[in-house]
Amino acid sequence: MEVGNYHPPYFLFNKHLETIYPAVFRKVVLPPYQRERIVTPDNDFLDLDWLTNGSDKLVIISHGLEGNTERPYIKGMAKAFYDNKYDVLAWNYRGCGDEMNRQLRFYHSGATDDLDVVVKHAASKYKSIFLVGFSLGGNITLKYLGERDAVVKGAVAFSVPMNLRTSCEKISSPGNFIYAYRFLKSLKNKVIAKSKRMKQINIYAIEKINNLKDFDDRYTAPIHGFKDAFHYYESCSSLYFLKDIRVPTLVVNAKNDPFLSPGCYPTDIDNPNIRFEYIDRGGHVGFATLDQNGVYWSELRALKFIEGLQ
């Protein structure tokens, strides 16, 4: 499979258009997912969406912040692998599916325990399992691989905020206001909804929180056992787990990604299992193409890498 350098369509002439166009305008036609709900060790649940071919190869896809399995980038990747005779499992993080999760906790950038539950749930059914993660899901994927000897054969991660602290600062910069506002609004609404069922969640003056770091200080960190936002970022940044990854892994970050700080393009990681590709264009989870029968460059790149491992 030939996959050349990425070149965006002519009308996507800056990083914001490259980021927004696929999220808003892309339509992906898939067979209906087959939904499965599994129970976690703490009596919560995860909703898994399957596409099956009867294959002995499975790709597990992890979405980004406030995403779900219906996002075009997830469906596009799912279709690319399904059409190439893989089984596909796209999973929804706690609180990201159609129903609020049961426990106080939600998901977060380092919540590898839930990915481990998903992988172990599927492991007995497949000869080979591969991971694909986007953005926050890419960070979870890389951290997961660095933490343990996983049963997976390889992984691909796109648009990964490997340094969570500096990436949070970057996305909260004035030029990224629209992204930060949308994420923050969605996260606040989720906390407000859960507070109606769990009185230990204090939403007093939540409307005054105006950046992601303050939201993480007040909610993400304490709910998930961290001292504060900085403790959360330092504990969960995949940057610190890369050296311990033991399976072939591809990391693709666009240099013009509006969400990523310079710390998300490490050049000093001495691990032969990881291939870093820092490409000039692509935006954040973008990589749109118009001449590949609806398949995006990122999907072709992931297919080529994973096919090469077999």
Identify the CA nearest to 62 among candidates 160, 154, 120, 138: 138
pLDDT of residue 4: 79
Please name the fold of domain 15-163+238-307.
Rossmann fold (3.40.50)
- DSSP assignment letter at 276: E
Identify the CA nearest to 96 among candidates 29, 27, 18, 183: 183
188: buried, middle or exposed (CB in 10 Å: 19+, 13-18, 0-12)? middle
Give the number of other Cβ atoms within 10 Å of residue 203's Cβ: 16
Cα(1)–Cα(3) distance, rounded to whole angstroms? Answer: 6
Domain boundaries, the chain: 15-163+238-307
- Extract the tokens encoding 252: 């693709």
One pLDDT digit (tens) per residue for the chain, 310 residues: 567 789 999 999 999 999 999 999 999 999 999 999 999 999 999 999 999 999 999 999 999 999 999 999 999 999 999 999 999 999 999 999 999 999 999 999 999 999 999 999 999 999 999 999 999 999 999 999 999 988 999 999 999 999 999 999 999 999 999 999 999 999 999 999 999 999 999 999 999 999 999 999 999 999 999 999 999 999 999 999 999 999 999 999 999 999 999 999 999 999 999 999 999 999 999 999 987 889 999 999 999 999 999 8
pLDDT of residue 154: 98
pLDDT of residue 89: 98
- DSSP assignment letter at 279: E
Q: Torsions phi, psi of 57, nearest 5?
A: -115, 130
- Pairing type for strands 45-51 and 87-92 reads antiparallel
Kindly give the interhelix angle for 177-195 and 164-171, rounded to the nearest 10 degrees.
110
Q: Is 147 left (phi over 0), alpha (psi -120 to 50) or beta?
A: alpha
Q: How many helices (H) and strands (E) does the chain have?
A: 10, 8
Query: Dihedral of CA 115/118/120/125: which sign?
Result: negative
pLDDT of residue 293: 85
